[in-house]
Amino acid sequence: MSNDEDLSLIEKPLALIVDDEQISRTVLDTMLESNYQCISVNSGPSALTWLANHHPDVIILDMNMPGMSGLEVCRHIKLLPEMQDVPVIFVTGSDSTEIQDACWESGAADFALKPVVASTLLHRIKVHVQNKKRIELLNELTYKDHLTKMHNRYYLAQEVPNLIKQVIRDNAKLSAILIDIDHFKGFNDTYGHLAGDNCLRQVASTIASVLRRPSDKVIRFGGEEFLVLLPYTDESGCEVVARILVESIKALNIDNRVSKHNVLTISAGCQVVNAAIEPIGLETLISDADDALLEAKSLGKNRYVRFASRQLSSAG
């Protein structure tokens, strides 16, 4: 099997090209376009803005840019938990020991010398992308629930603390939404466990489709419970997401004769913690969201409640 055939087995990877010179971006795009989806930006800040909502498979980064240098950009990228597995390859005009050390210290995976030799750059990118895919597969087996394909409790214990540390460093807010499928035991008893499994998959997929940012996480917390974590999200943002989730699950129109609505619904409890004024503890965060969830259940289900203020909203 040829190298090209190897690469074709991988869904066309997404490459982010960061260079302040238009001609350099065009050259790199031309080199990569046959095997990669390419997005080009002309500055470090533009790259960080784009990365807030996207997850590339590789980043090609010019080292010398005005304003924010490539090294600064790389250091910012590697502070983002969701970017830890994304290889950054520098394009630089020098291979001095000092430059090489700076590349590695900033978190880069590799570098290519100018003028760029297409075959060399393509080979290096291919190796790093394939390694990333292998790591993703291993993470899939380790950190994902086999039924719903959402993150599992092991991921919650091992990886979410890193997300919390990042939020704390930035003195930002972290929102949690704990979700429970209403009358799920009755649903299973009425329609059978195979229908219950399919229901869990549909609910999980719908929850994931509502979330827009790579940093947002969905975790299968228990049998029919899901935990949504929304870093850098305030109270109003958390409530918007919770409302959309409640409405979206009901809109699936999954038959559930056990419910007074005759369709499947969820209840949700929300909590928001501000790292700037209070410590963020994962257990406390989940416990508070669980208290709000219990109140949502007691008030009739098919709704969300936010902890503390107990501001209530119902999807009807």
Catalytic residues: 224
Q: Which of 16, 86, 22 is nearest to 47 (CA)?
A: 16
The string over 256-284, giving b where at least 16 C-beta atoms fall within 10 Å of a residue's C-beta and e elsewhere, is bebbeeebbbbbbbbbbbebeeeebebee
Q: Of all residues in the chain, what percent are helix, strand and coil, respectively (each to 5)?
A: 45, 20, 35
DSSP 8-state code for residue 218: E
In the block, residue with structure tokens 């597995």 = 85
Dihedral of CA atoms 101, 106, 109, 114 in degrees, nearest 10, equals: -70
Select from 242, 84, 83, 232 the least CA-distant residue to 164.
232
172 burial type by CB count under 10 A (0-12 exposed, 13-18 middle, 19+ buried): middle
Instruction: Name the residue type at position 234.
Output: D
Three-state SS for 269-281 is EEEEEECCCCCCC
Count H helices and E strands in the chain, helices first.
12, 11
Give the DSSP letter of residue 159. Answer: T
Residue type at position 137: L
Q: How far apart are the first and last CA of the chain?
A: 57
183, 259 contact by CB (below 8 A): yes
Q: Which two tokens stand for residue 69?
A: 């240098």
Distances (CA, A) of 136 to 49, 84, 132, 163: 24, 12, 6, 18
